[in-house]
Chain A
Amino acid sequence: MSVHEFWLQLLNGLTFGALLFLVSSGFTLIFGLMRIVNLAQGSLYLIGGYIGLSVIRATGSYWLALLGGAVAVAALGLAIERGLLQRVRGRPMSEILLTVGLSFIAADLALAIWGGDPQTLSVPNGIDGKATIFGVTYPVFRLVVLGLGIVVAVGLWALLEHTRIGAIVRAGVDDREMVSALGINVKRVFTGVFALGALLAGLAGVVGGAYLSLYPGADTEILTYSLVVVVIGGLGSLRGAIVGSLLVGLVYDFGQSLVPDLAYFVVFAPMALVLILRPQGLFGRAG
């Protein structure tokens, strides 16, 4: 591997990691508070991307697509939480299986509406060029994705650590009963967090639609990567999601350039290692 290729793969890994972070941060946020493993997170990602695609076709604006995809999916998340998940609250396996059922439906309806051919969202003017960084000519859009990942990470950190809502969420992660005993409407906080997680997935979908592409099955692939991210980082931990995303992004891209046939396999090696040495994940709590 030449120096040039090393920098290229490093950038690829970091930017892909940023995309993974957008999906898995929502995933881990939802789990952290609600103890729900949202296996429809990949579907929300894909639907967000497809809605973005439709918005671009209608308006020609990628930025509107970003907004539309994120907001529409947040609304969808709100409906799912209010309409379905609340009915099985407190039964973790039913919650998981419900999200699996929803992912069946979402995958099929997406196929019906947007078709089976891979679609790529066009990158907007201004950031569709290339820049030279570390002697590598690199697409500006991917650097923007990295920037967006950083912005979201900082935003979530500020939200969780420096706002009243964040304090409630953190308290809810530690002791749900106590929080509701203090007179806080945990139910509403739950709905809000689920919608926020969905919003992040929808946003990631519009970003991922331009970074990778959208096709039937992309939902499960991105879901699998997020699972690996949160298993490595520790479910419910924002820091874990950041470290896990970067690790998985880097391992994936270096793996792909070194052993292309086994790239997928290579991603799971660190997960297996973490499971053996520290089953609760790098930043997860035991038990």
Chain B
Amino acid sequence: MRSLASYLSAPGGADSPMAGWAPRLKWAALAATVVVAVAFPYGVTSFWVNIATQALIFGLFALSINVISGYGGMITLGHAGLLGIAGYGVAIFTTQSGWALGPATVAALALCAVVSLFFGALAVRTRGTYFVMITLAEGMVIWGIAQRWSELTGGENGIPGVPKPSFATQYWQYYWFVLVVVALCTFLIARFVRSPFGLSLKGIREADDRLAPLGYNVWLHKLIAFTVSGIFAGVAGVLLAMYNNFIGPSDVFFLASAEGLLMSILGGIGTLTGAFVGATVVVVIQDWVSSYFERWQTLLGVVFVLVILFASDGIVGLWTRFVWAPLLRRLGAGEAAADARTAARSAAGATVSAGAAAATADGAAPAAERRVPAESGGARSQ
């Protein structure tokens, strides 16, 4: 039982995060994830290591979409175009200009940043459905160039021969390389979305018309978020081009953008974990289920529709509702309610957090938060 004093402390016990099970379990889960991720190539065949590599790359891509769609509330359907700018950039600079991989990567990311800035400047002038359509059209411009400007992009044949770093040419070395890069990027994105800037971005998501009178430059915030997001999509693009030793029009097509968004929604939009969970599910369907079931793309579409209809807070949201919250309740009756509420607020947990629903595109109240008050009343009466 908790002391009476703890009930009188700040609501939700947010000032004593070490109390209760939630943070302990989270750290344990994070530690376990790190151990499993590092040791992964020792335990499984190359097939699964490659699947994990792709899940990490597309997880980063989904996370970059999350920055503007989940935290910023701007749904994009053209992000594969920005991924493609960096992917094609590194491919062209290494295979056609003969540059070393390092400078080529830097130049490709710089190019990606410039294009993101320009695309963002056009798109963030608008909201909602217009934003979706404009990002879609922007993505298709890149696809159009990739598909038609054969001299530069190889047209439908794409560009083969993109090298991997010399220290990561074997599949397991490349997995570790991707793991380190993606972990670093995830850390940076986590810092970004939790910074004061990230918080004002969430404010803009909830009510951008109210933040403007408060002195926030809404347009600039959105533009910066878009550009940052584009650069991280670019990192995923460079990793993808290296992984496949190839980049082609299908990598930047509308369906690739929609898949990225699907990953982020399927996992739980507005969460860091969700992006990787969603990416893993989609990559497994693409690479593994596809060898048993030819119509895997239909399956993806059906999953997409079902998630939209019945679980807009995604897998992480379902996990929170049906596993995490009940588990906490059982572990520490009274504490659990408070912790779940805390967790629900920190939507962007680095481990499985309770905030999954906090950023559903429609701004629906998160399920966990809706449930908790009722539970806590029950717990106190015990």
Contact = CB atoms under 8 A, between A and B. Distances in A.
Interface of A: 31, 35, 37, 39, 84, 87-88, 91-94, 96-98, 100-109, 112, 217, 220, 223-224, 227-228, 230-231, 235, 260-265, 268, 271-272, 275-276, 279
B361 A101 contact: no
Contacts of A228: 137
Nearest to B364: A91
A275 B308 contact: no
Contacts of A263: 144, 148
A88 B136 CA distance: 22
Contacts of B312: 94
Given A98-B308, A105-B298, 10 more contacts: A37-B129, A97-B261, A104-B297, A108-B295, A230-B133, A231-B130, A235-B129, A263-B144, A264-B140, A265-B144
Interface string B13-44: 00000000000000000000000000000000
B141 A101 contact: no
Interface string B259-276: 001100100000000000
Nearest to B259: A104
A231 B133 contact: yes
Contact of A102 (B136, B295, B301): B301
B150 A261 contact: yes
Given A97-B261, A104-B297, A92 B129 contact: yes
B217 to A, nearest CB: 18
A102 B262 CA distance: 12
Give the interface centre of A92, A101, A230, A265 by most chain B CB atoms within 10 Å.
A101
B308 A108 contact: no
Interface stretch (B120-128, B230-238, B332-340): B120-128
Chain A residues touching B, majority SS: helix
A196 to B, nearest CB: 20
B149 A261 contact: yes
Given A96-B129, A265-B145, A112 B295 contact: yes
Contacts, number: 131
A100 B258 contact: yes
A45 to B, nearest CB: 14
B309 A88 contact: yes
B149 A108 contact: no
Given A275-B122, A279-B125, A104 B255 contact: yes
B309 to A, nearest CB: 6
19 contacts: A35-B129, A84-B309, A88-B308, A91-B361, A92-B128, A92-B129, A97-B261, A103-B258, A104-B297, A105-B297, A107-B255, A108-B298, A224-B137, A224-B140, A261-B148, A262-B149, A264-B141, A264-B147, A279-B126
Contact of B132 (A37, A105, A271, A272): A37
A104 B297 CA distance: 7
Contacts of A260: 148
Contacts of A275: 122, 125-126, 134
Contact of B255 (A112, A220, A224, A261): A220
A92 B133 CA distance: 13
B254 interface: yes
A262 B145 CA distance: 7
A46 to B, nearest CB: 13
B301 A104 contact: yes
Given A107-B297, A265-B141, A279 B309 contact: no
A113 B305 CA distance: 21
A224 B254 contact: yes
A220 to B, nearest CB: 5
Nearest to A112: B295
Contacts of A279: 125-126, 130
B130 A235 contact: yes
Given A105-B298, A279-B126, A97 B309 contact: no
B77 interface: yes
B263 to A, nearest CB: 13
A235 B127 CA distance: 13
A173 to B, nearest CB: 15
B75 interface: yes
Given A107-B255, A231-B130, A279-B130, A97 B304 contact: yes
Contacts of B149: 261-262
A258 to B, nearest CB: 14
Nearest to A111: B297
A256 to B, nearest CB: 10
Contacts of B137: 224, 227-228, 231, 268, 271
B323 interface: no
Contacts of B302: 101, 105
A22 B107 CA distance: 43
Contacts of B226: none
